[in-house]
Amino acid sequence: MRLLKLELHKTLTNKKNLIVLAILLVVYIVMGFSTTYYSYGGTENYNTYTSMVEEHTGTLDEAQGVVSTDAYTEAKNKYGSGEAIDHYKMADPVLKFNADYADFNTAVNDYYEGKEAGKQDIDNLIGIAPLQDKLTELQASGQENSYEYARYEKQLETEKELGAPTFENVSFWDSLFSNWSGMNVLLLLLFPIAYFIAPIFTQEVRTGMDNIVLCSKKGRKEIVTSKIITGVITAVVMSILFVAGTFIGTFAATGNMAGAGFSMRCLASFRTAQYAFTIGQFALVSVLWIVFIAIVFSMVALLISALMSNQAGAFGVSFIVLLVGMATEIFGSGLKKLLWPIVDFSFNSLGKLSSIFGGTTTYNLFGQPISYAMLGVAVATVMLSAFIIFVYAAQKKRIVR
Amino acid sequence: MELIISNVMKNYGKKDVLKGVSFKMDNGIYGLLGPNGAGKTTLIRILAGLIPASSGQVLYNGKKCDKEYRAKLGYLPQDLDFYPNFTGRQYLEYVANLKGLSDVEADRKIKELAEQVDLTDDMERRCVNYSGGMKRRLGIAQALLNNPEILILDEPTAGLDPYERIKFRNIISVFSKDRAVLLSTHIVSDVDSVAKKIIMIKDGKVGSMEDGRAYMQRMNGKVWECSIAPDKLMGFQKNHVISNAVPNGDMIDIRVLSNSRPHEKAVNLEPNLEDAYLYEFNYKEAMA
């Protein structure tokens, strides 16, 4: 226990690193606050926006859907799409409301009719009607026992159970999940974790302590256990700081946490989610997921630290591991299909809550459809176990150079 | 307790660093002497289990070195720095834990060793701020934490002042009563009076392993003293091994190692271990 306490002191609870942690917490709070506050254009705009949302909550009002879609289309024609219109949405709460309602209108239409022709992903169909058509087609061709049939049948069943998305005032949660985006997880959580983990083994080399550690009774196995637990605690502490900091910042900007009891499908990025979670439940699942991914990455960084002799090198290689996932985003679709294990299970992908929990992607596991999240848990667990074993093996074979 | 080093070889690629080292150790101090690059540190690292031998074996009480061996080993490496955030006490607590001491045992031992190495008043200071000598003393303390049966010390007195060196020597002398100590050093006087056996290692091989007196006896009649003019010193040095030179008025008194009388006025002196060391590693080569 004392070994663990001292190991933690080296890595986390010393004065220097406590200051770094405090700075990170401030960064998380400021980021949570600023991204939320400015995306609504300040408190007055936020209040106008939420009062408009409150007036239109519930199932789709088709007339309002048409009005909002027309207004938003007109604005896009005038200002341009993408970042250009985002700027105007911040300044104009009415435009933001119309944009969100138009998006909701599209999501409801997609729920029933699927995407417009040409926009539908043929590998991941969505919409009640396209799913029914596909199942009829598979039945007609005698493929009722195929994986594809099982998959779409299950999806159709889930879609019917969950029902069409509804429009609710979930601005706090939308902002919070936007702060927990894949990029933020990658750069503001996993990257700093690499900074903290990199010296865990490399400083033994730098200080010459390897000489003492490796010839001591507990220097080949027990110390690794302490270092692994230290890595895990570091990842958990930093994840909690990240989640808590962004939560505090987002709350400070919105002043409410309304909407926790609504379906997670009310969240803008999770309209096609296949889970019957409320937003509150999903937030808890998301926190656990972020902590889990942080732990898995901490073990990757720990293994890199165990294999290298230089702290800066270990930090750099850990960073490259993170960049590999980001680099896959620029791959063409053919390359993405070929390298799908890397594309789908890099830390860049595993950190994206909207991809893991918000889509309809399934995998064929021995003929059974398995969700992205489930396979993600399995793959990450295997990775975690493998990296832990590798860290033990690396220390067992370690020699002084 | 018996430690057998049997035909240990170590090579890095084509470079043979150890070429079949064999000797046996039981209780007492063994001095390991040899010039830079002789393979002392490589041998020590193999004995400490830090690197594997390319061939040969090290047996502790007839068994291969394992966790049990590591539990009974104390090691002070040549270069040792400390964790930047640790106090002296935290550092020793950390090493005590690595060595498997219970918390109570560790606290007792730390207190005892801190006194022995004169660090009691500095135990709450961060050890990166210690002076070189204090760091070395802290290093010695960590090596002794587990009451090791085998203590391996690589240049333990580097950075210590004369008083500290004598004190260290006394600690090790008492300690070695029922334990084996392997002390590698360049400072011949560190092992001169305390070593049971001196192991001279050269070019990856053990040249000889005898007690200090045997080395000195072999030097009888080979240590000389004479006075020469300063301008002749350089020329004289080309053909002889000079172990000491002291100015004496217009002349220089020199201590010379030579199989035959090096100067017509040279007189024989009582040899010491430093003479034997120089003879072993310099004279034979110079005369070859």
B80 lies within 8 A of chain A by CB: yes
- With an 8 Å Cβ cutoff, are A223 and B79 in contact? no
- With an 8 Å Cβ cutoff, are A208 and B81 in contact? yes
- With an 8 Å Cβ cutoff, are B93 and A2 in contact? yes
What are the extents of the domains in chain A?
Answer: 2-37+169-397, 58-162
- With an 8 Å Cβ cutoff, are B77 and A203 in contact? no
Give the number of other CB atoms < 10 A from CB of residue B286: 15
B138 with B273, same domain: the answer is: no
C-alpha distance from A300 to closest chain B C-alpha (Å): 23
Nearest CA in chain B to A203: B83
B38 with B176, same domain: the answer is: yes
* Chain A neighbors of B85, CB-CB under 8 A: 9-10, 14-16
- With an 8 Å Cβ cutoff, are A217 and B77 in contact? no
> Which of B22, B17, B58 lies closest to B209, judged by CA?
B22
- Report the pLDDT averaged over residues B181-194: 85
Q: Where residue A37 falls among pLDDT bands split at 50, 70, 90? A: very high
HSE toward the beta carbon, residue B207, CA cutoff 13 A: 19
- Report the pLDDT averaged over residues A368-378: 93
Q: Where residue A234 falls among pLDDT bands split at 50, 70, 90? A: very high
Q: What is the CATH number of the domain that holds B112?
A: 3.40.50.300
Q: Where residue B141 falls among pLDDT bands split at 50, 70, 90? A: very high
Instruction: Measure CB to CB from residue B50 to each of A10, A206, A215 and give the nearest one.
Output: A215
B8 with B148, same domain: the answer is: yes
C-alpha distance from B76 to closest chain A C-alpha (Å): 7
Tell which wins on pLDDT, B179 or A329: B179
> Which of B190, B229, B205, B218 lies closest to B276, judged by CA?
B218
Q: What is the mean pLDDT of chain B?
A: 89
Condensed to tens digits (0 to 9), the pLDDT of residues A116-125 reads: 877 777 778 8
Instruction: Measure CB to CB from residue A203 to each of B83, B94, B97 and give the nearest one.
Output: B83
Q: Where residue B187 falls among pLDDT bands split at 50, 70, 90? A: confident
Q: How far is A382 from B253, CA to CA, in rounded Å?
A: 76
- Report the pLDDT averaged over residues A195-219: 93
Residue B287 has pLDDT above 60, yes or no: no
B208 with B221, same domain: the answer is: no
B246 with B142, same domain: the answer is: no
Give the number of other CB atoms < 10 A from CB of residue A140: 9
Q: How far is A230 from A200, CA to CA, in rounded Å?
A: 9
Contact indicator for B270, B284 with CB cutoff of 8 Å: no
- Report the pLDDT averaged over residues B187-198: 85
B83 lies within 8 A of chain A by CB: yes
ipTM over 0.90: no
Q: How far is A146 from B165, CA to CA, in rounded Å?
A: 82
B75 lies within 8 A of chain A by CB: yes
B161 with B267, same domain: the answer is: no
Residue A184 has pLDDT above 50, yes or no: yes
According to the model, what pLDDT value does residue A395 have? 94
For chain A, the residues whose C-beta falls within 8 A of a C-beta of chain B are 2-3, 6, 9-10, 14-16, 203, 206-220, 222-223, 399-400
Task: Examine the fold and report which residue of B176, B193, B214 is the final residue of a domain before the chain moves on.
Answer: B214
The percentage of chain A sitting over the pLDDT mark of 70, rounded to a whole number, equals: 100
According to the model, what pLDDT value does residue B285 have? 57
Contact indicator for B255, B223 with CB cutoff of 8 Å: yes
Task: Output the CA torsion A286→A288→A292→A295 (10° steps).
Answer: 120
C-alpha distance from B194 to closest chain A C-alpha (Å): 25
Instruction: Measure CB to CB from residue A214 to each of B50, B80, B103 and give the nearest one.
Output: B50
Task: Examine the fold and report which residue of B156, B181, B214 is the final residue of a domain before the chain moves on.
Answer: B214
According to the model, what pLDDT value does residue B212 have? 83
B265 with B201, same domain: the answer is: no
Element (H, E) at B235: helix B233-239
B136 lies within 8 A of chain A by CB: no
> Which of A162, A169, A163 lies closest to A261, judged by CA?
A169
Cβ partners under 8 Å of residue A37, min gap 6:
A43, A46, A253
Q: Where residue B206 falls among pLDDT bands split at 50, 70, 90? A: confident
Domain hosting residue B265, numbered range: 217-287
* Chain A neighbors of B52, CB-CB under 8 A: 399
B175 lies within 8 A of chain A by CB: no
Condensed to tens digits (0 to 9), the pLDDT of residues B234-245 reads: 888 888 888 889
B190 with B236, same domain: the answer is: no
* Chain B neighbors of A5, CB-CB under 8 A: none
Nearest CA in chain A to B81: A207
- With an 8 Å Cβ cutoff, are A399 and B71 in contact? no
Q: Where residue B288 falls among pLDDT bands split at 50, 70, 90? A: very low
Nearest CA in chain A to B151: A215
HSE toward the beta carbon, residue B262, CA cutoff 13 A: 27
C-alpha distance from A299 to closest chain B C-alpha (Å): 22
B74 with B140, same domain: the answer is: yes
According to the model, what pLDDT value does residue B286 have? 53
B86 with B115, same domain: the answer is: yes
Task: Examine the fold and report which residue of B214, B236, B269 is the final residue of a domain before the chain moves on.
Answer: B214
Condensed to tens digits (0 to 9), the pLDDT of residues B24-67 reads: 999 999 999 988 888 899 999 999 999 999 999 999 988 888 88
Residue B161 has pLDDT above 90, yes or no: no
B196 with B166, same domain: the answer is: yes
- With an 8 Å Cβ cutoff, are A400 and B51 in contact? yes
> Which SS3 state, helix, strand or coil, does residue B229 take?
coil
Residue B215 has pLDDT above 60, yes or no: yes
Q: Where residue B284 falls among pLDDT bands split at 50, 70, 90? A: low
- With an 8 Å Cβ cutoff, are B93 and A211 in contact? no
Condensed to tens digits (0 to 9), the pLDDT of residues B222-268 reads: 899 999 998 888 888 888 888 889 999 989 999 998 888 888 888 99
> Which of B91, B55, B93, B82 lies closest to B204, judged by CA?
B55
Total domains in chain B come to 2
Beta strand B223-228 with B205-210 is unpaired
C-alpha distance from A318 to closest chain B C-alpha (Å): 23
B142 lies within 8 A of chain A by CB: yes
Give the number of other CB atoms < 10 A from CB of residue A121: 12
B193 with B226, same domain: the answer is: no
- With an 8 Å Cβ cutoff, are B45 and A214 in contact? no
Cβ partners under 8 Å of residue B239, min gap 6:
none
Condensed to tens digits (0 to 9), the pLDDT of residues A351-366 reads: 999 999 998 888 988 8
Nearest CA in chain B to A225: B98
